Amino acid sequence: MTTRTTGAQRFVPPAGGLERLREAASDCEGCPLFQAAERTVFGAGDERSRVVVVGEQPGSVEDHEGRPYADEAGELLDGALEQAGIDPAQVYRTYAVKHYKFVRVGTTTHGASVGRRVRLKPSRGEREACRPWLLAELNTIDPELVICLGGTAAHSLLGAEFQVSAHRGVVHLLAAPELRRNLRVMVTMRPESVARLRESDRRDAFAEFLVDLRHAAEMLRHGTAA
Ligand code: SF4
């Protein structure tokens, strides 16, 4: 079964808080990704959060459990936030694309693939289809800072030409017509990428991740980019 990528906008309720958005997103068919995944993984956290972190998409664990950053990468993210001086309880976690995109590899039984699920990067069309949910979350929460974790999240908010490696850790002002006010956005790496490194490489990558998050913490303390 296939479905055209028509976008999520027609599923987004015009008003209401996060609960209303979450409920509506559970029925979203704005792109074909809802067909294979178990569920929509909507954002989680307090509506008054000061910070919103935006990842790429849920993984296999999140698809099962229905909450963002439920895996090892989530533990790493929480640990890094704490070390940087940002209270994880004040952080709302969400994804640029809210259904898990994957391919099954390995075993085939009776013609059906039942092997393990391996993540696939969302396409530009899938990212754009899902963007209305992210903008609705940002308009509802109105955070002091948005932290994009990796390229997909950065491209969703800052445009397809944005280069993560050239602008990591820098605070940008996002002015989108769909947003009720301009928002500060910082881009750093995906915690999933750090978590899967070998121990020796992970230490260095984690240190770089911390530098960016400490910059974010400094901005939150003083209200400006350090
Ligand atoms: S990925 Fe986003 S746009 Fe596509 S079906 Fe899921 S919630 Fe809707």
Question: What DSSP element (H or E) covers 187?
Answer: strand 183-188
pLDDT, residue 113, reads 63
Domains and CATH numbers, the chain: 9-222 (3.40.470.10)
State the distance from the centre of ligand 1 to the C-alpha of 143, rounded, in angstroms.
23
One-letter amino acid of 201: D
State the distance from the centre of ligand 1 to the C-alpha of 224, rounded, in angstroms.
34
The Cα–Cα gap between 183 and 142 comes to: 8
> Residue 72 in contact with residue 81, Cβ under 8 Å?
no
User: Which of 22, 28, 56 to mutate to test ligand 1, by most ligand atoms within 8 A of the CB atom?
Assistant: 28
> Residue 26 in contact with residue 41, Cβ under 8 Å?
no
State the distance from the centre of ligand 1 to the C-alpha of 36, rounded, in angstroms.
11
State the distance from the centre of ligand 1 to the C-alpha of 133, rounded, in angstroms.
8
Distances (CA, A) of 76 to 1, 43, 64, 142: 37, 18, 20, 25
> Residue 44 in contact with residue 22, Cβ under 8 Å?
no
The Cα–Cα gap between 189 and 175 comes to: 22
Distances (CA, A) of 62 to 38, 43, 72, 99, 101: 10, 11, 11, 10, 12
pLDDT, residue 222, reads 85
User: Which of 1, 120, 130 to mutate to test ligand 1, by most ligand atoms within 8 A of the CB atom?
Assistant: 130
Which residues have any ligand 1 atom within 6 Å of their CB? 8, 25, 28-31, 33-34, 40, 97-99, 126, 129-130, 133
How does pLDDT run along the chain (226 residues), one tens digit per residue?
445 678 999 999 998 899 999 999 999 999 999 999 999 999 999 999 999 999 999 999 999 999 999 999 999 999 999 999 999 999 999 999 999 999 999 866 666 666 899 999 999 999 999 999 999 999 999 999 999 999 999 999 999 999 999 999 999 999 999 999 999 999 999 999 999 999 989 999 999 999 999 999 999 998 764 4
The Cα–Cα gap between 148 and 151 comes to: 8
> Residue 62 in contact with residue 41, Cβ under 8 Å?
yes
State the distance from the centre of ligand 1 to the C-alpha of 42, rounded, in angstroms.
10
Q: State the sign of the Cα–Cα–Cα–Cα dihedral 73, 164, 140, 123.
A: negative
Q: What would the two tokens of residue 223 be?
A: 């209200």
> Residue 96 in contact with residue 134, Cβ under 8 Å?
yes
User: Which of 12, 21, 22, 31 to mutate to test ligand 1, by most ligand atoms within 8 A of the CB atom?
Assistant: 31
Output the DSSP codes for 81-147: HHHHT--GGGEEEEESS-S--EEEES-EETTEE-SEEEE-PPPHHHHHHHHHHHHHHHHHH--SEEE
Residue 51, SS3 per DSSP: strand
